[in-house]
Amino acid sequence: MRGTVSSSPIINAKDGHPIVKGRAMKKQWMWNLLSVLLLAVGLVVWIVLPWYLVLGVVLLLVLWLLLTRSGRLSLAAARIGVASLPQRWGATSVIVVGIAGVVGVLVAMLAMGQGFQATLDSTGDDTTAIVLRGGSQAETNSVIMRDQVPLISSLAGVAHDAGNRPLVSPELSQVVNLLSKSDGTDVNAQFRGVGEQAWAVHDKVRILEGRKFAPGLREIVVGKGAQSQFRGLQVGKTLNLGNQAWTVVGVFSSGDAHDSELWTDTQTLSTTYNRGAYQSISVRTEGPAGFQAFRSAMAADPRLKLDVLTTREYYRKQGGNLNKILEILGKFIGTIMAIGAVFGALNTMYAAVATRAREIATMRALGFRGVPVVMAVMLETMLLALLGGVLGGLVAWAIFNGYSVSTLGSNFSQVVFQFKVSPELLWSGLKWALGIGLVGGLFPALRAARLPITTALREV
């Protein structure tokens, strides 16, 4: 029986036995998977950390590097690695350029969404109301009958001008085709009919060139943004819209989404396109309290089954979905590029560790233990990531900040807006860069700390 037991391959198995080896491999695989999951969670937490917590983490790291023996050894070892970077400029540039590309694309995509939302957020205010048919989400699917305009004008909270006329503008929105300046293709533009009081209701609008349109005539004033995007909108030019000839008589600026529009008299537009009703009513109210009074009076009148929003709230809602899509798309593309940058950093740092094997082994033989070696490699990688993040942010800011584009808005017409590269986006891009450097440098750093001293010293 003893011979039988002693010959059992399970009980007498050594390290090289298939069963034990398989268990070890499985254990190692599980440990690697757990490490990756923890690293991913830590990376997500790092990305969402507010600035003051990031500053706290950096401060603790600096104090550890300056006040502890391991920290000072880490700095000394990192100086040696940084000093050798010029000798490895080709490999290290892969990390810097790769991370810069990730940050540049991420910041540019998010700047597009932020710029679009900022344009809509700046449109309107909290003292101007927009009236729509009950349940309507936008002007395009709203209908307001003409006989309702006097009722709306008489409600409490409506502001009046010096002549005691209510500041109310019945409006129509017509989508028309214009030629794009960039490639000459047909694109949609918003042709808005506004009432006589529109200039007082939309008080941000200023005439830059020419004059206002005359009521009853087929005259147009065009937004500055529309003029920059579409052909044939110079003052004095004639456009053929709705089988009628229209003359451009002025250019206006509002600094918001209205810059993308063409304006004319609402009655003239209604006649041209056979529109028997309005789509929205813009109302200037007597301050925020006047808006509340106006909305309450509207709700109390059974003849008016209409919805009331501030113009600020309305335009913010119009851009919400597109802004979310751009944000998700930007982060998705940025994540894919970040994964590629991580692999690039891994390959580069693994190669750097292999190249410096004798150097690292010599430092360990001189008393540099595992923690200083790991931190030295990590500090080197994080420095390269920081350079890449700064470079990517600067490129995104230099190229895209203030860059004017147009996009398909929720009202099926183009909205002209500018990319907005804000400090918050640059800060977010920098955190992404440091996160990539953290992941890309960790495993090569651990390998450097586990490198056998005697084996590395024998290598030529």
For the cut 60, the answer to whether the pLDDT of residue 272 exceeds it is yes
Lowest-confidence segment of 200-209, 284-293, 412-421 by average pLDDT: 412-421
CA distance linking residue 251 with residue 231, whole number of Å:
14
pLDDT confidence band for 23 (50 / 70 / 90) = low
More confident residue, 98 or 354: 98
More confident residue, 334 or 225: 225
For the cut 70, the answer to whether the pLDDT of residue 340 exceeds it is yes
Output the furthest CA–CA distance in the chain (Å, rounded): 116
Q: Would residue 431 be called left, alpha or beta, if left means φ above 0 and alpha means ψ between -120 and 50 degrees?
A: alpha
pLDDT on residue 390: 94
pLDDT confidence band for 192 (50 / 70 / 90) = very high
Q: What is the pLDDT of residues 295-329, one digit of tens each?
A: 999 999 888 889 999 988 888 777 666 667 767 77
For the cut 50, the answer to whether the pLDDT of residue 417 exceeds it is yes
pLDDT on residue 435: 85
Contact, 386 vs 78, CB < 8 A?
no
CA distance linking residue 280 with residue 140, whole number of Å:
9
Give whole-number Cα distances, 343 to 98, 121, 348, in Å: 10, 40, 8
CA distance linking residue 31 with residue 416, whole number of Å:
52
CA distance linking residue 257 with residue 224, whole number of Å:
11
pLDDT on residue 321: 65
pLDDT confidence band for 36 (50 / 70 / 90) = low
For the cut 60, the answer to whether the pLDDT of residue 136 exceeds it is yes
- Other C-beta atoms lying within 10 Å of the C-beta of residue 218: 20
pLDDT on residue 354: 65
More confident residue, 160 or 377: 160
pLDDT on residue 29: 65
CA distance linking residue 152 with residue 13, whole number of Å:
91
The mean per-residue pLDDT over the stretch 31-39 comes to 65
pLDDT confidence band for 382 (50 / 70 / 90) = confident
CA distance linking residue 231 with residue 213, whole number of Å:
20
Query: What value does the mean pLDDT of the chain take?
Result: 81
For the cut 90, the answer to whether the pLDDT of residue 385 exceeds it is no
Contact, 418 vs 256, CB < 8 A?
no
> Residue 12, CB half-sphere, CA atoms under 13 Å: how many?
8
The mean per-residue pLDDT over the stretch 402-422 comes to 66
pLDDT on residue 96: 86
For the cut 70, the answer to whether the pLDDT of residue 10 exceeds it is no
Lowest-confidence segment of 220-224, 261-265, 446-450 by average pLDDT: 446-450
Lowest-confidence segment of 18-32, 66-80, 301-315 by average pLDDT: 18-32
pLDDT on residue 33: 65
pLDDT on residue 7: 43
pLDDT confidence band for 409 (50 / 70 / 90) = very low
Q: What is the pLDDT of residues 204-261, one digit of tens each?
A: 899 999 999 999 999 999 999 889 888 989 999 999 998 899 999 999 998 888 888 9
Contact, 114 vs 428, CB < 8 A?
no
* Both structure tokens of 253: 């600026």
* Both structure tokens of 313: 């709230």
pLDDT on residue 82: 82
SS3 for the chain is CHHHHHCCCCCCCCCCCHHHHHHHHHHHHHHHHHHHHHHHHHHHHHHHCCHHHHHHHHHHHHHHHHHCHHHHHHHHHHHHHHHCHHHHHHHHHHHHHHHHHHHHHHHHHHHHHHHHHHHHHCCCCCCEEEEEECCCCCHHHCCECCCHHHHHHCCCCECECCCCCECEEEEEEEEEEEEECCCCCEEEEEEEEECCCHHHHCCCCEEEEECCCCCCCCEEEEEHHHHHHECCCCCCCEEEECCEEEEEEEEEECCCHHHHEEEEEHHHHHHHCCCCCECEEEEEECHHHHHHHHHHHHHHCCCCCEEEEEHHHHHHHHHHHHHHHHHHHHHHHHHHHHHHHHHHHHHHHHHHHHHCHHHHHHHHHCCCCHHHHHHHHHHHHHHHHHHHHHHHHHHHHHHHCCCEEEEECCCCCEEEEECCCCHHHHHHHHHHHHHHHHHHHHHHHHHHHHCCHHHHHHCC
- Counting residues of the chain whose pLDDT is more than 70, the rounded percentage is 81
For the cut 80, the answer to whether the pLDDT of residue 73 exceeds it is yes
pLDDT confidence band for 11 (50 / 70 / 90) = very low
- In degrees, to the nearest 5, what angle opens at C-alpha 315 toward C-alphas 309 and 319? 135
pLDDT on residue 322: 65
Contact, 420 vs 118, CB < 8 A?
yes
For the cut 90, the answer to whether the pLDDT of residue 137 exceeds it is no
The mean per-residue pLDDT over the stretch 267-286 comes to 93
For the cut 60, the answer to whether the pLDDT of residue 173 exceeds it is yes
pLDDT on residue 71: 86
